[in-house]
Structure 1
Amino acid sequence: MTVALNYRVSGEGEPLILLHGLFGSLENLGGVAQRLQDEYQIHALDHRNHGRSPHTDQMDYPAMAADILAYMDQAGLERASLLGHSMGGKAAMQVALSAPERVERLIVADIAPVSYPPHHDVILEGMTGLDLASLASRQDADRALARYVETPAVRQFLLKNLQRVPEEERTEAAPAAFRWRINLPVIEASYNNLAAAPEGEGPFTGPVLFLKGSESAYIQDKHREAVMSLFPAAQLRIISGTDHWLHAEKPDTFAALCRQFLAEQ
Structure 2
Amino acid sequence: MKLHSKVKGEGQPLIILHGFLGMGDNWKTLANSYAKEGFEVHLVDQRNHGRSPHDEAFSYDLLAEDLKQYLEEKSIDSASIMGHSMGGKTAMRFATMFPDQVNKLIVVDIAPKYYAPHHQQILDGLTKISEAELSSRSDADELLANYISEKPIRQFLLKNLYWKTQEVLNLRLNLKALKQNIEEVGKGLPQNAKYSGETLFIKGGKSNYIKESDKSDIASHFENFKIKSIENAGHWIHAEKRKEFFSLSLDWLKS
- Shorter-chain TM-score bucket reads over 0.9
Match of 2:139 in 1: 140
One-letter amino acid matched to 1:60: S
Task: Tell me how far apart the structure 2 counterparts of residues 116 and 147 of structure 1 sit (CA, whole Å).
Answer: 25
One-letter amino acid matched to 2:26: N
TM-score, normalization: structure 1?
A: 0.92
Matches within 5 A, 1:1-265: 3-38=1-36, 39-130=38-129, 132-167=131-166, 177-199=168-190, 201-264=192-255
One-letter amino acid matched to 2:35: Q
Q: Which runs of 4+ in 1 moved over 6 A?
A: none
| CA deviation string 1:28-83 (max 9, x = no partner) | 11122111112211111000111111111111100000000100011111111100
- 8 Å CA contact 2:134–2:170 kept in 1: the answer is no
Runs of at least 5 residues in structure 1 that lack an aligned partner in the other structure = 168-175
One-letter amino acid matched to 1:207: E
SS in 1 for 2:195: coil
Task: Tell me how far apart the structure 1 counterparts of residues 107 and 133 of structure 2 sit (CA, whole Å).
Answer: 40
Task: Tell me how far apart the structure 2 counterparts of residues 92 and 260 of structure 1 sit (CA, whole Å).
Answer: 19
Match of 1:173 in 2: none
Task: Tell me how far apart the structure 2 counterparts of residues 133 and 152 of structure 1 sit (CA, whole Å).
Answer: 20
- 8 Å CA contact 2:130–2:171 kept in 1: the answer is no
One-letter amino acid matched to 2:90: A
> How many residues are treated as equivalent by the alignment?
254
Instruction: Quote how far apart the aligned CAs of 1:145 are.
Output: 1.1
Identity value in percent: 39
Instruction: Quote how far apart the aligned CAs of 1:245 are.
Output: 0.8
Task: Tell me how far apart the structure 2 counterparts of residues 25 and 191 of structure 1 sit (CA, whole Å).
Answer: 17
Task: Tell me how far apart the structure 2 counterparts of residues 137 and 40 of structure 1 sit (CA, whole Å).
Answer: 37
- 8 Å CA contact 1:11–1:42 kept in 2: the answer is yes
SS in 2 for 1:208: strand
TM-score, normalization: structure 2?
A: 0.96
Runs of at least 5 residues in structure 2 that lack an aligned partner in the other structure = none
Task: Tell me how far apart the structure 1 counterparts of residues 247 and 17 of structure 2 sit (CA, whole Å).
Answer: 18
- 8 Å CA contact 1:97–1:201 kept in 2: the answer is no
Q: Report the aligned-residue RMSD.
A: 1.4
Greater Cα shift, 30-39 or 19-28: 30-39
Instruction: Quote how far apart the aligned CAs of 1:153 are.
Output: 1.1
Instruction: Quote how far apart the aligned CAs of 1:134 are.
Output: 5.0
| CA deviation string 1:184-224 (max 9, x = no partner) | 00011111000111336241000000000100010001111
Asked which structure has the greater CA Rg, the reply is 1
- 8 Å CA contact 1:210–1:236 kept in 2: the answer is yes
SS in 2 for 1:129: helix
One-letter amino acid matched to 1:95: F
Greater Cα shift, 128-137 or 118-127: 128-137
SS in 2 for 1:236: strand
Task: Tell me how far apart the structure 2 counterparts of residues 131 and 107 of structure 1 sit (CA, whole Å).
Answer: 34
Task: Tell me how far apart the structure 2 counterparts of residues 134 and 8 of structure 1 sit (CA, whole Å).
Answer: 28
